[in-house]
Amino acid sequence: MDFDVAIITGALPYLWKGFLYTVELTAVSAAGGLFFGTLLALARLSSLKPLQTVAAAYVNLMRSIPLVLVIFWFFFLVPLILQSVTGAERPPQVGAERTAIITFILFEAAYFCEIMRAGIQSIPRGQVWSAYALGLNYNQTMRLVILPQAFRNMIPVLLTQIIILFQDTSLVYVISATDFVGAAAKVAQRDSKLVEMYLFVAVVYFVLCYSLSFAVKHLQRKIAVIR
């Protein structure tokens, strides 16, 4: 069989656009997921029982169903929610790309929550007591003492999760969003060049994820030496 390189170089501008969306989706979901995940972790560790229960239920629900199913849920749910919030007459057109961002933020929050919870729980209790003894309130204790340390301890795990997220964002393919894989699939099907396009995508992902996880491993060793 012949391998048609020209089809890849010809499609590069289009693929690049898809790739940028993949990066944007990863970055926004990582930031949003980390923010809400931290709040969820604080809720799971709070002394208020109802808050604990609700947060735990949310996290367990998200972690027990497939991402593809979650993507489908939100694809149909988000327009309806926006409609009831804005009071519009018909569900607004949100588009697959924006729905995907909302989906991934809410889905990743559950995973980041578990990482942050482990990070917070790895901090010795004495830190909390000393912070309270110094007169800090709950907010200040968390913001100035506990969370910075928890973040630092969990950096390698958080980065690994972000690499997994980077790979998982390819699943927006199922709602026809044009991410890197989506763009490649569209070209592949238009020109029936599936072999070239999918191999190219696989190589790009491999090189990126391999280098990133190598860097994370390096960083982990460095952090391990400091402590």
Partner 1 sequence: MNYHWNWGVFFQETPEGGTFYWEILLSGLGWTLAVSVVAWLIAMIAGSIVGTLRTTQNPWLTAFGHCWVELFRNIPLLVQMFLWYFVIPEFVPPLKRWMVSTEPVYAQFISAVLCLGLFTSARIAEQVRAGIQSLPRGQRLASMALGLTPVQTYRHVLLPEAFRIIIPPLTSETMNLIKNSSIALTIGLAELTFRARELGEYTFSFFEAFTAATLVYIIISMSANRVMAVVERRVAVPGLITAGGK
Binding positions for partner 1, rule: CB under 8 A: 1, 61, 64-69, 72-73, 76-77, 80-81, 83-84, 167-168, 170-171, 173-174, 181, 185, 194-195, 198-199, 201-202, 205-206, 209-210, 213
Element (H, E) at 39: helix 5-44
- Closest to partner 1 by CB, 120 or 171: 171
| Cα 11 to Cα 43: distance, rounded to the nearest angstrom | 47
Answer for the pair 161, 118: CB distance below 8 angstroms, yes or no. Answer: no
Q: Least Å distance between CB 17 and partner 1?
A: 18
Q: Taking the complex as a whole, how short is the minimal distance between the CB of residue 200 and partner 1, in angstroms?
A: 10
Q: Give the nearer residue to partner 1 in terms of CB position, either 7 or 174.
A: 174
Comparison of 31 and 202: residue with beta carbon closer to partner 1: 202
Q: At closest approach, how far in Å is the CB of 70 from partner 1?
A: 9
Tell me the three state secondary structure of residue 153. Answer: helix
In angstroms, what is the minimal distance from the CB of 206 to partner 1?
5
Looking at the Cβ atoms of 143 and 221, the one nearer to partner 1 is: 221
Spatial separation of the C-alpha atoms in residues 224 and 227, rounded to whole Å: 6
> CA 211, 215, 216, 217 torsion: positive or negative?
positive
92-96 CB contacts, 8 Å cutoff, 24+ apart: 96/172, 96/175, 96/176, 96/177
d(CA 161, CA 140): 27
Residue (27 or 68) nearer to partner 1, CB: 68
Shortest reach from residue 156's CB to partner 1, in Å: 15
